[in-house]
Amino acid sequence: EKEKTLAMIKPDGVSGNYTDGIKMAILESGFSILRESIVQLDEDKAVTFYAEHSSRTFFTSLIKYMTSGPVLVMVLEKENAVADWRALIGPTDARKAKITHPHSIRAMCGMDSDRNCVHGSDSAQSAQREMPFFFKEMSSGTGIV
């Protein structure tokens, strides 16, 4: 059974020219890229997207970072897409990724736990919210979004 997930290349990944390398890793890992779009998040959109983190100490810097330049959002599809994309990007803290998961995408292009270069939905339920956030036609019709 195929599954879909939302992948995002964050502003430093886009400005640092990691887009082609990341897309190559995605395709080599057996994902299909069903949708892709370059988006400039404004504060409102970033706050809504990351609403679950709004009480965290890193929230203000997260919003500033995520609105600092365009991001590339993609819908990826394969079996076990949510977990496999999370495995491919590596741990949230890119400094840790460089040590424990040296071949991960965050090891390649991330800086630290804030500027970690890429995002992936953390569950199938999150994916169902995040995909239609960027691609309206992907609404599941369950009333979540």
Catalytic residues: 119
How far apart CA 46 and CA 4 sit, in angstroms, is 22
Q: Specify the stretch interacting with ligand CMP by CB under 6 A; choose among 14-22, 39-47, 113-121, 127-135.
A: 113-121
Residues in 42-71 that interact with ligand CMP by CB under 6 A: 53, 58, 62
- Distance of alpha carbon 68 from alpha carbon 49, whole angstroms: 15
116 lies in the binding site for ligand CMP (CB under 6 A): yes
CA dist 54 and 71 (Å) reads 20
Residue 20: phi and psi, rounded to 5, are: -65, -45
CB closest to ligand CMP, residue no: 119
Distance CA 49, CA 46 (A): 5
Q: Which is nearer to ligand CMP, 43 or 141 (CB)?
A: 43
Question: Is 135 strand, coil or helix?
Answer: coil
The distance of closest approach from Cβ of residue 114 to ligand CMP in the complex, given in angstroms and rounded to an integer, is 4
**Smallest gap from residue 22 Cβ to ligand CMP (A):** 14
Site of tokens 């890429």: 118
Residues that bind ligand CMP (CB under 6 A): 53, 58, 62, 92, 113-114, 116, 119
